[in-house]
């Protein structure tokens, strides 16, 4: 069954909408289990080599960083990665990699 789950995209239905499931980081769980969009976010933070702001990640992604509303969905996704153990959110709101 684990092989079957790994082969299928990790999605669930919430209020009639497909939602991506982000697994918790742990032993045996690799970055490959993340959806491609989240893998890209993780790669951007890792390549920065220092804590980054949502605005900096948004700039790399080509988002309109001058408009705060354009960054809020990205902030939520980065926070989700932090909440699941893939990233670390610092008290000042910046994100960095976890050891």
Cα gap 46→60, rounded to integer Å: 13
Listed by start position, the domains of the chain span: 35-99
pLDDT confidence of residue 1: 35
User: Considering only the top CATH level, what class is 35-99?
Assistant: mainly alpha
pLDDT confidence of residue 7: 41
At residue 19, does pLDDT exceed 80?
Answer: no
pLDDT confidence of residue 16: 76
The DSSP string of 41-67 is HHHHHHHH-S-B-HHHHHHHHT--TTS
> What would the pLDDT profile of 42-94 be if each residue is shown by its tens digit?
999 999 989 999 999 999 999 999 987 889 999 999 999 999 999 999 999 99
At residue 18, does pLDDT exceed 90?
Answer: no
């Amino acid at each position: 069954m684990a092989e079957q789950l790994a082969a299928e995209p990790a999605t669930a239905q919430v209020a009639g909408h497909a939602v991506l499931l982000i697994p918790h980081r742990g032993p045996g769980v690799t970055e490959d289990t993340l959806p491609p969009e989240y893998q890209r976010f993780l790669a951007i933070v890792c390549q920065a080599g220092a804590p980054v702001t949502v605005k900096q990640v948004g700039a790399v992604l080509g988002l309109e960083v001058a408009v705060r509303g354009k960054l809020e969905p990205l902030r939520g996704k980065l926070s989700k990665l932090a909440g699941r153990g893939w990233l670390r959110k610092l008290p000042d709101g910046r994100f960095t990699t976890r050891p």
